[in-house]
Amino acid sequence: MVVDTVGWLLERTEVARPRLVDLGCGTGSLTVRLARAFPHADVVGVDADPRLLGLAEGAVSGTTARLLARDLTTPGWADEAGPPAPWDAAVSSTALHWLTPDELAALYCTLAGRLRPGGILVDADNRAPTADPAPLGLARQLRARRADRAGRHGHEDWAGWWQTILSAQELAPSPRPAPRSRNAPSPSPTI
């Protein structure tokens, strides 16, 4: 959903090198998806946890994404996230709910100063869209894209889900070896 939302924005802009910032990037799973989906973009993942950033380094290798070890609650972190040019999108996948209301408000102020006019903040924490027609239209478009990608429209019932799972060859149980006879010699170890 986050990558689709950023794609929706970038389809409507003519930015040669979009700037995308992953807030609280953790292991880099969203950072790498952004870098692969938008190889022409400047993608930066920001997180304060060195262990998670160590995992993120492996995830983003082979892409142009960069990682920044900074705490989002520390003033000035955004100055180190790249060129001072405005950002096109700031994204987060279930990280911002850890911030206190005051820390979140300060982050929103920072983002308001960094995002270009028309830029977006995409927070994947689950929130319902408002009655505003623009977010509702975006939500409908994103649901349709996800359904197209999955090849499934409408709702799947429980029985249909199990039928799909049980018929998938890649999920079939591995064949069990034939039982050995008690009198059969044990295989000799090879060295």
CATH of domain 2-150: 3.40.50.150
d(CA 15, CA 39): 13
pLDDT of residue 64: 94
d(CA 119, CA 18): 10
pLDDT of residue 7: 93
- Give residue for tokens 């799947």: 156
Q: Which residues of the chain register pLDDT less than 50?
A: none
Q: What are phi and psi of 89, to 5 degrees?
A: -150, 140
pLDDT of residue 74: 93
- Global pTM value: 0.68
pLDDT of residue 129: 58
Domain coordinates of the chain in residue numbers?
2-150
pLDDT of residue 106: 94
